[in-house]
Structure 1
Amino acid sequence: MSDWWKKSVVYQIYPQSFNDSNNDGIGDIQGIIEKLPYLEELGVDVLWLNPIYVSPLVDNGYDIADYYKINPDYGTLDDFKELLEKAHEKKIRIIMDLVVNHTSDQNQWFLESKKGKDNKYSDFYIWRNPKADGSEPNNWGSTFGGSAWTYVPERKQYYLHLFAKEQPDLNWENEQVRQTVYEMMRYWLDLGIDGFRMDVISLISKRPGLPDAPKDLPYSKNYYFGASNGPRVHEFLQEMNQEVLSKYDCLTVGETANTTSDQAVLYTDPDRHELSMVFQFDHMHLDYGEHGKFSNVRFKMSDLRNVMTEWEDKLENHGWNSLYWSNHDQPRGTTRFGDDGMYRVESAKMLGTLLHMMKGTPYVFEGEELGMKDVPFKSLTDYRDIESLNMIKELESDGLSQEEIRKIMYLRSRDNARTPMPWDDGYGFSEAEPWIAYSSDNENINVNQALNDPESVFWYYKKLIQLRKTHDVIIDGKYEVLNQDDSCVYNYKRQNNDEQLLVICSFSPEPVRFTIPDEFFDQEILISNYHRKPCHGTIILKPYEAIVISKKNS
């Protein structure tokens, strides 16, 4: 098997919001096919599709009712086969979302399981008897609010759901569950897909006895105590690898919330035969506040540098990093880590430079290549995401004003990532009213504008992606952080036997001084967001300036 994914750049498509081919207000598979030339122009190697299976869409497709059928809102299985064929013709691979910690409560497995304790599916989910007083089996809360347990009168038992009550957790202790999942994975891999992104895969093994969580943990995430990185998670993944993944030349990336860099080695060390890489969340937690993610706290660059460096160092020779600023569960990186005002374009390019020059596989979320920013929705009623709607209620009950809540939602809602992809200044996603409101910024931030502007973020991202194909040091060079006491400039080096790269990224909206190391004096500049010429000595970095200097080893 080849490690092709180490040389790849992945582009994440949120199908509902990418492109609507039949003008019903919902993006679809034919819409993706229409835009393959655009993705080919950008130069990406892999498309990751968020779930496209049949679903009631309580959690936008992460509640799967049938793993073998395509949601008719998105098209048909023939549409998907056409997408696979046409993408592969363009040397673009496709990975699907694998959601197997839980299903929809409309899944036939669950509908049978809830009927009683003596059928084929009775033990497919995690059922527990009430306590003596009739209350929930333990004190775990759900991510989306309320208890992680829901009572079913037919069984006189509660079932566990770490997410919405419509998303019951599968019982991975049951070998029949695991074999059923593996059979489904083989179906899609045999169809020709190139791998899976695995949703909350670190939660599939629960601690025996499902113990109460300590009372000092945040209620909506206290289940981490008994569910994250559980005692059999690596056993399960090694079994999955042996029975399925090892038979295919595929990419696997696990979403592993509440996982440290040391734990990530266990998932990604190739000698352990589990996953290609994992999504870590440490850099996503740097701006958490009183309400967790939903805060107006700003990250500190020194914290970001420490986290990114820790993950680069820990996984060196022991695994592989996934690199991302944003996805369907996070706000836009330009707003969060850059400047979405005067220096939107410059900071978007800088953030792209910092990430794409690191060791690992970069993930580009749709619209990131345009420098899209968070969405100034006109009203709180414009939000659609279950997590955001629950948090709006919670913040209102905590006494925050509408203005304060709107500010927090602007900074943190998942819907910031989910507005329709703006194809032109008429927005271009659909001729119908879209399922979620457009961003009013689309008038100035859209694909047509970007393609016609040689200085746009799009063309800069294209060059970043091309550099990965022509400079092996970006793929295999060792990472070394420099100037760790600099409060404004994130500076690191990449080095292999043939080449060294000096990466300089300013996080300051003001000009700042920076001294070029002697060995990089007047060397070739591979990319710069201000068209910097070869330089030496102490230079003045412009706001959010990024420079990558190359020195060939003699």
Structure 2
Amino acid sequence: MQAAMHIQNREGAEPAVEPDRDWWRGAVIYQIYPRSFQDSDGDGIGDLRGILTRLPHIASLGADAIWISPFFRSPMADFGYDVSDYRDVEPMFGTLDDFDAVVAEAHRLGLKVMIDLVLSHTSDAHPWFRESRGSRDNPKSDWYVWADAKPDGTPPNNWLSIFGGSAWAWDARRQQYYMHNFLAEQPDLNFHNSEVQDALLDVTRFWLERGVDGFRLDTINFYFHSQGLEDNPALAPESRDYSTAPAVNPYNWQDHIYDKSRPENVAFLTRFRALLDEYPAAAAVGEVGDAQRGLQIVADYTAGSDRVHMCYSFDFLSPDKISAERVRTVLEEFDRVASDGWSCWAFSNHDVMRHASRWAASEWDRTAYLKVISALLMSLRGSVCIYQGEELGLPEADLAFEDLRDPYGIRFWPEFKGRDGCRTPMVWDSHQPNAGFSPARPWLPVPAEHLTMAVNTQADDDNSLLEHYRRMLAFRAAHPALIKGSITFNDAQGDVVVFTRRHGNEQILCAFNLGGNDAALELGDGVSPVSIPGHGFSGTSAGGTIKLGAYGAWFGRIA
């Protein structure tokens, strides 16, 4: 864990501990999807008390923080990302007291707590929306994005929903359309209304007062829309990118310049950061969903010290397989556009196919491949998100249609199976019913192939992926250059990626062979190997030459 600073109090007694305001920079954040982490009450759905019992697992990995996906009151049309009460816990997950207990235990274990704030939209069951839709002149009539129909009754413009179809839904009471970037049950808030901003900042303060250390901001670039409601232009087929939405979704056919990623957002993020800065060490990471402008938006939102602390885009969450060339291109482009910004890198999360299936399925040694790309992730400049089960190497679950719960997958089946495959329950104990997740039938099935990867099957096995993650997180924590240092890439060929991390007087050279064949590179003199006990990588150095076995890695200290 990153150390806090000590300050001397006025009486000269024991020094007080000042929170490290910079803890987030280079932190490893473990994402918890509450429905699927641990069930404590036997209803087949994970909950806050379940999270409480499993926090030691996360602490044992060496993570710095947890990110808990939404647990607020919700009709669950989008499994918590449709919030009906920002200040209370959905009963299936527990109570506010349960949440307080999670925070207290996490802090006792040295873990920061970040929660998922869904600010761009609410549930249509939220009291704000119920009032807003009641008339065109009530106090909250302008809290959501309303627009008249065209003369022929069709929606105001061509904007599309990520979940398919028009981004506009007709409301019979107001005789107007309302905007929804996602499900029709998720109406978009109108951030052009300062009262909306104030209300959302009050929500943020509510959770800061309960002791949270920060936030993951859902769809951070979706807050504002163009008030002119202009049609989005078409996007040429060769320019389409499928990282934000699957290829079967015509959402990718537009250049989304009017319905999201608007310049007005920066001013709100400045207000948001000012609120966080009132607290000892609060931090935020934003999700940027924009295939065309992702890294530039990350740069805009993290520049200086008055916006959000860090963001992540979908560069390594897209279907495109990671490669040595792509790693260098993405990192160098980020450094070019955001030299004073900060990114948070992830390979998997609750919205995309697990990278153990996206990338590793075609490799001849799946475990060795997952080890080397995880070592790469832990060595990149930026912070890191690990999605639950990633440390076990869980592949995407192949579910039958009748088992699906995700409206996204149900709509586009079978060409796109949705997000349920990455949301199946965490596997803890291969000897217990449902791998120790719940004694009852889980909300999503536990795949049989996951049982052999359960925590109990990998713990204390030096060759397992789980123990490899523990070693890599410990190695990262021991070297400031890997946490907060700069990054400079070395020339390399083929599947090999090489870079140097520098911080203060420490310089660590990192070399990775992402391919299944042996490789070698010349580095010259002045580099001595750095040991990671038991890491199991096939990499050696002699006379300035590094030999990397298939899926091998090598770390060296530059004199």
Same fold (TM over 0.5): yes
Q: 2:251 aligns with which of 200, 203, 220?
A: 220
Alignment of 1:122-521 (within 5 A): 122-216=141-235, 219-221=250-252, 222=254, 224-258=256-290, 259-271=293-305, 273-285=306-318, 287=320, 301-316=324-339, 318-339=340-361, 342-377=364-399, 379-392=400-413, 395=415, 409=417, 413-425=418-430, 426=432, 427-484=435-492, 486-509=493-516, 511-519=517-525
Partner SS state of residue 352, structure 1: helix
Partner SS state of residue 520, structure 2: strand
CA distance in 2, matches of 1:418, 1:543: 31
**TM-score normalised by L of structure 2:** 0.88
CA distance in 1, matches of 2:455, 2:532: 25
Cα deviations across residues 483-541 of structure 1 (Å, max 9, x unaligned)?
25x221122221234222222222212x2221241135553334685344752255553
Partner SS state of residue 490, structure 1: strand
8 Å Cα contact 1:268/1:276 also seen in 2:
yes
CA distance in 2, matches of 1:477, 1:299: 22
8 Å Cα contact 2:527/2:557 also seen in 1:
no
Q: In structure 2, what residue type is equivalent to 1:267? A: Y
Any gaps of 5 or more consecutive residues in structure 1? 288-297, 396-407
Q: In structure 1, what residue type is equivalent to 2:266? A: H
8 Å Cα contact 1:322/1:363 also seen in 2:
yes
The answer to whether residue 552 in structure 2 is matched with residue 545 in structure 1 is yes
CA distance in 1, matches of 2:112, 2:454: 25
Change (3 A) 1:124 1:521: closer
Any gaps of 5 or more consecutive residues in structure 2? 1-19, 237-248
Cα deviations across residues 162-213 of structure 1 (Å, max 9, x unaligned)?
1000000000011111111111110110110011100111111111211111
Cα deviations across residues 114-153 of structure 1 (Å, max 9, x unaligned)?
1101212111100001111111011111111111111111
Q: Shift of residue 440 of structure 1?
A: 2.1
Cα deviations across residues 433-455 of structure 1 (Å, max 9, x unaligned)?
10011122122111001114122
CA distance in 2, matches of 1:468, 1:299: 21
Q: Shift of residue 469 of structure 1?
A: 2.2
More helix by percentage: 1
Partner of 1:8: 27
Q: In structure 2, what residue type is equivalent to 1:219? A: P
Partner of 2:128: 109
CA distance in 2, matches of 1:461, 1:434: 27
8 Å Cα contact 1:143/1:162 also seen in 2:
yes
Q: Shift of residue 384 of structure 1?
A: 2.2
Change (3 A) 1:78 1:530: same
Partner of 1:82: 101
Change (3 A) 1:285 1:40: closer
Cα deviations across residues 11-53 of structure 1 (Å, max 9, x unaligned)?
0000000001111100001101111221121111111000000
Q: Shift of residue 457 of structure 1?
A: 1.2
Change (3 A) 1:179 1:539: closer
Change (3 A) 1:514 1:6: same
Partner of 1:535: 541
CA distance in 2, matches of 1:428, 1:75: 19
Q: Shift of residue 241 of structure 1?
A: 2.1
Q: Shift of residue 220 of structure 1?
A: 2.2
Compare 59-68 and 260-269 and name the one that shifted more: 260-269
CA distance in 1, matches of 2:336, 2:365: 31
Cα deviations across residues 356-406 of structure 1 (Å, max 9, x unaligned)?
1111111111011111122233x233332222222216x4xxxxxxxxxxx
Cα deviations across residues 270-297 of structure 1 (Å, max 9, x unaligned)?
34x010000111333462xxxxxxxxxx
Compare 440-449 and 520-529 and name the one that shifted more: 520-529
CA distance in 2, matches of 1:479, 1:472: 12
Q: In structure 1, what residue type is equivalent to 2:503? A: N
Compare 333-342 and 379-388 and name the one that shifted more: 333-342
CA distance in 1, matches of 2:413, 2:384: 32
Change (3 A) 1:20 1:341: farther
Change (3 A) 1:29 1:315: same
Cα deviations across residues 57-87 of structure 1 (Å, max 9, x unaligned)?
1111100011011011110111111111111
Compare 60-69 and 526-535 and name the one that shifted more: 526-535
Partner of 1:291: none
Partner of 1:292: none
Q: In structure 1, what residue type is equivalent to 2:403? A: D
Change (3 A) 1:211 1:19: same
Aligned-residue Cα RMSD (Å) equals 2.1
CA distance in 2, matches of 1:533, 1:247: 45
Partner SS state of residue 93, structure 2: coil
CA distance in 2, matches of 1:165, 1:520: 61
**TM-score normalised by L of structure 1:** 0.89
8 Å Cα contact 1:98/1:198 also seen in 2:
yes
8 Å Cα contact 1:321/1:360 also seen in 2:
yes
Partner SS state of residue 481, structure 2: helix
CA distance in 2, matches of 1:497, 1:300: 29
